[in-house]
């Protein structure tokens, strides 16, 4: 049914659980499926007081890109070890929100499905941090599979996934 699965990853345990779910779908016997792993750089660093045109932000952006590339490479190795064709995209369009970037990439790549992890935050942490998964669902041009976080992260203390 799904031939092109886009997975939004960030290196968290929740993201890893979503990746494993996507591998399960893509690797189903008799299915020829391609995956695209997407990592979106988080512009929250600018809210922490860094000037996007100043000297400090240059080093921060470089570290964010290096970290994103590392996350993509590690998860790509996992997918390829499962025998699934895959590629990666690092999105660093500052100013675009996670959901917008994921939805745009899904449309451009013509994905059949988006897979994303959710921390399942509630109350104040959800209000402050928002729900990336919920926003992706609203903007997605294709169906979205939302994978719940591992039990240890449900307290909202975990970082990273939508």
The three-state secondary structure class of 142 is coil
Instruction: Assign domain 9-152 one CATH number from 3.40.50.620, 3.40.50.2000, 3.30.360.10, 3.40.190.10.
Output: 3.40.50.620
pLDDT digit string, tens, across residues 3-60: 999 999 999 999 999 999 999 999 777 678 999 999 998 665 445 544 555 555 567 7
> How much is the pLDDT for 111?
98
- Beta carbons within 8 Å of 72's beta carbon, 6+ residues apart: 9, 37, 39, 88, 89, 90
CB atoms within 10 A of CB 139: 19
pLDDT digit string, tens, across residues 97-145: 889 999 999 999 999 999 999 875 554 444 434 578 888 999 999 999 9
CA torsion angle 133 68 40 48 (round to 10):
90
Phi, psi of 151 (to 5 degrees): -50, -35
């Amino acid at each position: 049914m799904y031939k092109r699965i886009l997975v939004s990853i960030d290196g968290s345990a929740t993201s890893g659980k979503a990746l494993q779910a996507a591998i399960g779908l893509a690797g189903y016997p008799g299915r020829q499926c391609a995956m695209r792993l997407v990592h979106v750089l988080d512009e929250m660093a600018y809210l922490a007081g860094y000037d996007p045109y100043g000297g400090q932000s240059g080093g921060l952006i470089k570290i964010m890109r290096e970290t994103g590339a590392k996350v993509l490479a590690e998860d790509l190795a996992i997918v390829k070890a499962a025998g699934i064709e895959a590629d990666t995209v690092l999105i660093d369009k500052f100013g675009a929100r996670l959901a917008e970037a994921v939805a745009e990439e899904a449309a451009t790549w013509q994905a059949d499905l988006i897979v994303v992890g959710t921390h399942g935050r509630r109350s104040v942490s959800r209000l402050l941090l928002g729900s990336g998964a919920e926003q992706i669902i609203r903007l997605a041009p294709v169906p979205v599979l939302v994978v719940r976080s591992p039990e240890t992260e449900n307290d909202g203390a975990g970082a990273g996934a939508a």
